[in-house]
């Protein structure tokens, strides 16, 4: 198929450039916006309003009209908000343009919000980008909380990402990882430098293609490739979609100034990207339907075929699935999984290379466990304590989505002694929580051993000191799939290879700065040399 091959082979460099470009656009737009608004605010006479009787959470002073936009760093929002919370507290209020914002930066406040008041914090804020990609909130990720959302979650959890279904994907994971091991083995014979991040993104892309569409990595329809003109790859389109979801739209903060998004080109670019994505899905759907008409054998192991079956069988769910529903669900799956697992594995390798003694301990555990078997058996990985401690510690220091996915309050509630109003956007700073010195000893150091004497479970979301997959009703339904993939890939990388830095480079030279985006990848690519272990 014409887009699948290029989706698989596209590398991380495109992702880096698109995110940098989007970040630059954010600041340019903010500057252009601030200048006239501040001028207007200085010219206008603002009447003093009566003091509010409500006891709002503390926060930094707000400027007229723009609120705290001038203090919000779009490149590193999680770091920016953590610094502000250190001054104003773990429950903080901001205003971004016309949008009231609540920032939660402690495990105690997160527990009170996501466990004691989970229903109140179960909505999603509406933005220009998420409304576009969710097709007006008919997917699972951005659907407003209510009966429809509950039915969609039930459908997703029971039929797409149940534990049984995740286990059925295991042969796909193992096959794709085996191909990467062979690829690295070929490169190691000539001591070629390997871009770990790019390799992991490519692996993740292939795996998602097979899970979502049943497409193998080496499939290519030569006839279509000759007939169709060259187009952008699906991976490029999805990268741009992710950048838009993390980008700055004036209309999100100043609804009456939405025309600026047209003027700057942001809205036309968003529309173009959406149409390209829609065309990609439409082609895949037509291909599946054509196979069905030809009565070819179809496996229900891929997500698209499952969704088509759910659409045809009206007795399975109260939701009357349409093609728009299916396309919205596919977008959620792709955008949630496109770089999150690759991010976790790349950060794990980054941390291990900076801590060689930890690397040696983990290699010894993996190789001792599988030496006599010759291959990694996925079902045994959960029983390896050091491997799982390394993954937990990686997710603590580098959660794939540092601010999780924003929430919105449904009704008034009391949190930490303060009154929280409805329709407030809520950022839960998982990155700040997992680096809180009140909870974690030496919070900025990589110490997997800290997980040997505690029972923190990443899956249930009830240990609020570490919630990389969120918690409560809006927790990530694909967490089991992501964790299983991270375990399998990391175990294979360390079972078959010893890893070295390029000549002249030392562990302390490795850059741990992150790249802007919903899911954070290392800003500087991690280049390594693989050596086959004896």
Residues belonging to the binding site are 476
**CA-closest candidate to residue 235, choices 486, 406, 18:** 18
**Secondary structure, 3-state, 124-188:** CCCCHHHHHHCCCCCCCCCCCCCHHHHHHHHHHHHHHCCHHHHHHCHHHHHHHHHHHHHHHHHHH
Phi, psi of 262 (to 5 degrees): -70, -40
**What is the sign of the dihedral through the CA atoms of 499, 502, 505 and 509?**
negative
Q: What is the full DSSP assignment across 308-366? A: HHHHH-TTS-SS---HHHHHHHHHHHHHHHSSHHHHHHHHHHHHHHH-HHHHHHHHHHH
**Which residues, 6+ apart, have CB-to-CB distance to 505 below 8 Å?**
none
Q: Does domain 170-214+339-399+473-534 have CATH number 1.10.630.10?
A: yes
CB 155 within 8 A of CB 310: yes
Residue 94's φ and ψ, nearest 5 degrees, are -135, 175
User: CA 228 from chain center: how many Å?
Assistant: 32
102 bridge partner residues: 93, 426
Angle at the Cα of 354 from the Cα atoms of 351 and 356, rounded to 5 degrees: 105
H-helix or E-strand containing 408?
Answer: strand 407-408
Q: What are the b/e assignments for 150-169, b being 16+ CB within 10 Å? A: eebbebbeebbbeeebbeeb
Known binding residues for heme:
476
Residue 266: CA atoms inside 13 Å, Cβ hemisphere, count?
26
What pLDDT was estimated at residue 32?
Answer: 52
Parse the chain into domains and list their residue ranges. Answer: 1-46+225-298, 170-214+339-399+473-534
CA distance 6 to 85: 43
Q: What does the radius of gyration of the chain's CA atoms come to, in whole angstroms?
A: 24
* Under 8 Å between Cβ of 530 and 188: yes
Residue 107 is inside which H or E element, if any?
A: helix 107-111
pLDDT (0 to 100) of residue 15: 46
Paired sense of beta strands 418-420 and 413-415, if any: antiparallel
The label of the residue with tokens 């797409």 reads 160
Q: Are 7 and 220 in contact (CB under 8 A)?
A: no
Least Cα distance to 446 among 503, 368, 510 occurs for 510
Kindly list the distances between the CA atom of residue 454 and the CA atoms of 252, 361, 430, 510, in Å, as whole numbers in the listed order: 42, 20, 19, 30
DSSP symbol at 265: T
pLDDT at site 11: 37
Residues of the chain short of pLDDT 50, as ranges, are: 1-16, 23-24, 26-28, 30-31, 34-35, 38-39, 41-53, 217-227
Element (DSSP H or E) covering residue 415: strand 413-415
Find out whether 478 and 378 touch, Cβ atoms under 8 Å.
no
Q: Give me the residue label for tokens 């799982």.
A: 388
Q: What is the pLDDT of residue 340?
A: 79
* Triad 93, 94, 99: Cα angle to 5°: 115
Please tell me the distance from the alpha carbon of residue 202 to that of residue 189, in angstroms, as a whole number: 21
Evaluated on CA atoms 329, 332, 335, 336, the torsion sign reads negative
Q: How many C-beta neighbours within 10 Å does residue 28 have?
A: 12
Q: Collect all residues with Cβ–Cβ distance below 8 Å to 19 and sequence separation of at least 6.
A: 243, 246, 515, 516, 517
SS3 of residue 199 by DSSP: helix
Cβ-contact 335, 245 below 8 angstroms: yes
Structure tokens at 171: 């042969």
Question: In this structure, are residues 95 and 101 in contact, taking their beta carbons and an 8 Å threshold?
Answer: yes
């Amino acid at each position: 198929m014409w887009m699948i091959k290029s989706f698989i082979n596209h590398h991380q460099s495109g992702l880096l450039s698109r995110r940098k470009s989007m970040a630059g656009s954010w600041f340019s737009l903010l500057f252009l916006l601030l200048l006239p608004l501040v001028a207007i605010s200085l010219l206008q006479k603002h009447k003093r309003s009566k003091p509010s009787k409500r006891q709002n959470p503390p926060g930094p002073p707000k400027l007229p009209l723009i609120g705290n936009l001038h203090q919000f760093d779009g490149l590193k929002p999680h770091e920016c908000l953590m610094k502000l919370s250190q001054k104003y507290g773990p429950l903080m209020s901001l205003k971004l343009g016309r949008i009231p914002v609540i920032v939660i930066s402690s495990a105690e406040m997160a527990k009170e919000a996501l466990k004691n008041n989970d229903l109140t914090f179960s909505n999603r804020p509406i933005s220009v980008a998420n409304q576009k990609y969710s097709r007006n909130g008919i997917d699972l990720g951005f659907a407003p909380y209510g009966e429809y959302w509950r039915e969609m979650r039930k459908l997703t959890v029971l039929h797409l990402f149940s534990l049984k279904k995740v286990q059925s994907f295991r042969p796909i994971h193992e096959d794709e990882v085996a191909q990467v091991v062979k690829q690295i083995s070929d490169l190691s014979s000539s001591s070629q430098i390997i871009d770990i991040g790019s390799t992991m993104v490519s692996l993740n892309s292939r795996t998602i293609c097979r899970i979502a569409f049943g497409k193998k990595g080496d499939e290519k329809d030569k006839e279509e490739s000759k007939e169709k003109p060259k187009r952008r790859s699906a991976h490029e389109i999805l990268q741009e979609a992710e950048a838009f979801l993390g980008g700055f739209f004036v209309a999100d903060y100043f609804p009456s100034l939405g025309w600026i998004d047209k003027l700057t080109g942001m809205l036309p670019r968003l529309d173009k990207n959406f149409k390209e994505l829609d065309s990609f899905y439409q082609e895949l759907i037509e291909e599946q339907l054509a196979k069905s008409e030809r009565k070819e054998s179809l496996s229900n192991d891929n997500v698209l075929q499952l969704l088509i079956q759910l659409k045809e069988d009206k007795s399975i769910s109260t939701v009357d699935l349409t093609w728009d529903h299916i396309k919205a669900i596919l977008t959620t799956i792709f955008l949630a999984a496109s770089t999150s697992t690759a991010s976790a594995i790349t950060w794990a390798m980054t941390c291990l290379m900076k801590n060689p003694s930890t690397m040696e301990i983990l290699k010894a555990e993996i190789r001792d466990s599988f030496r006599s078997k010759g291959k990694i058996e996925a079902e045994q990985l959960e029983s390896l304590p050091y491997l799982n401690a390394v993954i937990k510690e990686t997710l603590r220091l580098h959660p794939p989505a540092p601010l999780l996915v924003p929430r919105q309050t449904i009704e008034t509630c009391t949190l930490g002694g303060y009154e929280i109003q409805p329709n407030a956007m809520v950022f839960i700073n998982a990155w700040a929580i997992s680096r809180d010195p009140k909870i974690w000893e030496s919070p900025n150091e990589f110490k997997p051993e800290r997980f040997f004497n505690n029972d923190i479970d990443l899956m249930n979301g009830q240990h609020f000191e570490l919630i990389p997959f969120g918690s409560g009703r809006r927790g990530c339904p694909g967490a089991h799939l992501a964790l299983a993939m991270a375990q399998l890939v990391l175990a294979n990388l360390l079972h078959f290879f010893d890893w070295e830095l390029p000549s002249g480079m030392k562990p302390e030279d490795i850059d741990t700065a992150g790249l802007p985006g919903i899911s954070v990848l290392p800003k500087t690519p991690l280049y390594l040399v693989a050596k086959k272990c004896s």
